[in-house]
Amino acid sequence: MLSLSADMTKTDVNLQMINGDSSATAGGLEYALELMVFAESLARRDEAALTTAREALASAAGSAVLVDAAAVAGNFQRMVRIADAAGIPLDERNIIATIDIREQLDLQRFGSAANSRSTTLSDRLKAVFMKPLMKFVMRRIDRKANTGNH
Amino acid sequence: MSAFSYEHSPYPVRQDLQQVYRDYWSMLSHPGNWWSGTERVAIANEVRQATSCEYCAQRKQALSPYNFAGQHTHAGELDELTVDAVHRIITDQARITQDWVDSLEQTGMRPEKYVELLGIAVTVFSIDEFNRGLGLTPEPLPPAHPGEPNHYRPAQAIRGTGFVPMLPTQGATGQEADLWGDHTANVLRALSVVPDAVRGWFMVAAGQYLDMAGMMQFSGDHGRAINRMQMELVAGRVSAINECFY
């Protein structure tokens, strides 16, 4: 989703932020380092680090940003547990759409990858042809959503 | 003072977020499809024991979490099987397996009960985690309303995806027509054998993150202080630390 959103807004982001690479936060995303560290300390349950990260984020970006970041972090503490505890596999269309991102981030290292089928040569071939089409479709969906919300 | 007023929070909390938390607390306190109100609130209370359970902390480090003897720190309100299910979901969800979920059924917890328990545990946890993110203590749990669960199960639920029965992608029909449109993603289907569990987390997700329409909007204004990319950075980092492939 970060990749998709960056693509839609033509923003330069380095996805290695997801894996905690601080140097990857130096790009077009405002408060990226503070947000990354806050999310990390919350999910790791490191209370001392969380206190420091909370203060750093609030100080740099303000209370409203901190509150919305805490809300999103809480939301995904739930979502990961729903996905893993119900054992859901990656949706078929996402297997093709996310091949490169999963490889860039080495997501296969996670145990819950076993709940999804492996990527095949056929998936890779389909991805070559389908990615431009998918990008086009997602742009249309985004445009429609933006029109509908204004 | 009403629940979730955040009067003593150093950080102002959006009114809409306060309201969805209140609405979820009300939902939590009433009988569900498979658990009574008292049991539902007890499951919520057990979520809070799990985060400080020494046995869970040790088991998390064990190579095999299914052959590690010990005793949970628990509130004493639920049976051993239920306590273990709540603690495992909260502290070691990435190593939950089909065999373990099947073993619950063999020992008396049918999949619908597991799914409702899962919905309660993770939604309460997400609200507690929001408070923890702001440096606040968890909200006191609501008093339970009397009554019995109604044992409702949507007829169209099937097995075949994941560890539990769920509605087919195109199965949001009849009484479940409000859940999603013509088709949906697996993560939205995951709890759908207990439709109210889905409704509960959708409601909280709309406040904490985005509603369904907002999720399909990848740019522009979402009415939040952070933009979609910033949301997804937080989401992605939390998911990576939890080792979630999905």
A128 phi and psi angles, rounded to 5 deg: -60, -45
Q: Which residue ranges make up each domain of chain B?
A: 15-154
pLDDT tens, B180-232?
988 899 999 999 999 999 999 999 999 999 998 888 888 888 899 999 999 99
Q: Are residues A94 and A82 in the same domain?
A: no
Q: Which of B118, B127, B219 sits opposite A146 (nearest CB)?
A: B219
Residue B158 bridge partners (DSSP)? B166
Burial of A38 (0-12, 13-18, 19+ CB in 10 A): buried
Q: Are residues A99 and A82 in the same domain?
A: no
Instruction: Give the model's pLDDT for residue B40.
Output: 98
Q: Are residues A68 and A114 in the same domain?
A: no
Contact B238 A68 (CB under 8 A): no
How many CA atoms does the CB half-sphere of B136 hold within 13 Å? Answer: 21
Range of the domain at A119: 90-150
ipTM of the complex model: 0.95
Give the pLDDT band of residue A149 (cuts 50, 70, 90). Answer: low
Instruction: Give the model's pLDDT for residue B1.
Output: 63
Contact A149 B217 (CB under 8 A): yes
B108 phi and psi angles, rounded to 5 deg: 115, -5
Smallest CA–CA distance, residue A62 to chain B, in Å, is 9
Domain boundary among A62, A86, A110: A86
Smallest CA–CA distance, residue B221 to chain A, in Å, is 8
B166 phi and psi angles, rounded to 5 deg: -155, 165
Q: Are residues A3 and A71 in the same domain?
A: yes
- Give the integer Cα–Cα distance in Å for B90 and B46: 10
Q: Are residues A126 and A78 in the same domain?
A: no
Q: Output the DSSP codes for chain B.
A: --TT--TT-SS---HHHHHHHHHHHHHHHS--SSS-HHHHHHHHHHHHHHTT-HHHHHHHHSS-TTS--------SSS-HHHHHHHHHHHH-GGG--HHHHHHHHHTT--HHHHHHHHHHHHHHHHHHHHHHHTT-PPPPPPPPPP--------TT-BSSSSSS-B--TT---GGGTTS-SS---HHHHTTTTSHHHHHHHHHHHHHHS--HHHHT--SS--SSSS-HHHHHHHHHHHHHHTT---
Instruction: Give the model's pLDDT for residue A105.
Output: 85
Q: Are residues A74 and A119 in the same domain?
A: no
Contact B190 A149 (CB under 8 A): no
The count of residues in chain B is 246
Q: Which residues of A touch B128 (CB under 8 A)?
A: 74
Q: Is A26 an 8 Å CB contact of chain B?
A: no
Q: Which residues of B touch A36 (CB under 8 A)?
A: 233-234, 237
Smallest CA–CA distance, residue A100 to chain B, in Å, is 14
Instruction: Give the model's pLDDT for residue A94.
Output: 84
Contact A50 B132 (CB under 8 A): yes
Q: Is A138 an 8 Å CB contact of chain B?
A: yes
Domain boundary among A51, A71, A86: A86
- Tokens 């490889």 sit on residue: A103
Q: Are residues A48 and A4 in the same domain?
A: yes
Q: Which residues of A touch B94 (CB under 8 A)?
A: 80, 84, 110-112
Neighbours of B132 (CB within 10 A): 22
Contact B237 A20 (CB under 8 A): yes
How open is the CA angle B57-B62-B67, to the nearest 5 degrees? Answer: 110
Distance of CA B78 to the CA centre of its chain: 18
Contact A66 B208 (CB under 8 A): no
pLDDT tens, A4-38?
888 888 888 889 999 999 999 988 899 999 999 99
Instruction: Give the model's pLDDT for residue B62.
Output: 92
Over range A133-141, report the average pLDDT.
85
Q: Are residues A82 and A19 in the same domain?
A: yes
Q: Are residues A59 and A127 in the same domain?
A: no
Whether CATH 1.10.10 fits B15-154: no
- Give the integer Cα–Cα distance in Å for B209 and A55: 22
Q: Are residues A78 and A17 in the same domain?
A: yes
Task: Identify the H or E element spanning A129.
Answer: helix A121-148
Count of domains forming chain A: 2
Instruction: Give the chain A residue nearest B217 (alpha carbons).
Output: A142
How open is the CA angle B21-B23-B29, to the nearest 5 degrees? Answer: 100
Domain boundary among A86, A108, A127: A86
Which 8-state DSSP code applies to residue A108? G
